[in-house]
Structures are given as C-alpha cells and as structure tokens.
Amino acid sequence: MPLYIKDDTTAALVAELAKARGVSKQDAVKMAVKAELDREAWSVPLRDRMAAWRADHPLPPPTGHKADKAFFDDLSDDL
C-alpha cells in the first residue's frame, strides 16, 4: 500500500535522513518508524514488560526434588 507524504517539511526531513544514511527515502521512512516503535516499546516500564514476559513464559510446576550439593554432584558425576 503506497504512502504519500503531502507535507513539504516531512518530505524534506525524510530526504535529509535518506541522504545522511545513504539509503532510499522508503528505507529512511522504514528506519525512522522502526526506531520510533522500538523507543515506544522501551517506554513501557520494566515491571510491566517483565510481568508480560512471565505471563507468556510461566515457571514449570515444582518437582519436589531437593537441589542440594548431592543433586548437583550427581548431575556432574562428581564424587
């Protein structure tokens, strides 16, 4: 779907970015929008990002095994 920029100031800024980066105007718009979306994602507080991550990646249920020195020695075949 085409994107038409009708504002001269915006078009000039896109052209300036494209020239500075040595890319096409289309790539300049893509880079700028991507950078802004990344910046927006980082504006979400870490506590909220971690809560969402934990909801998507829950801990496995407890196994009831005791993770003591003997357990880890057994894993590494240490005596």
pLDDT the model gives residue 65? 82
Q: pLDDT in tens for each of the 79 residues of the chain?
A: 788 889 999 999 999 999 999 999 999 999 999 999 999 988 989 999 999 999 999 999 998 888 888 888 888 886 5
CA distance 9 to 3: 16
pLDDT the model gives residue 79? 59
DSSP code per residue over 5-55? ---HHHHHHHHHHHHHHTS-HHHHHHHHHHHHHHHHHHTS-HHHHHHHHHH
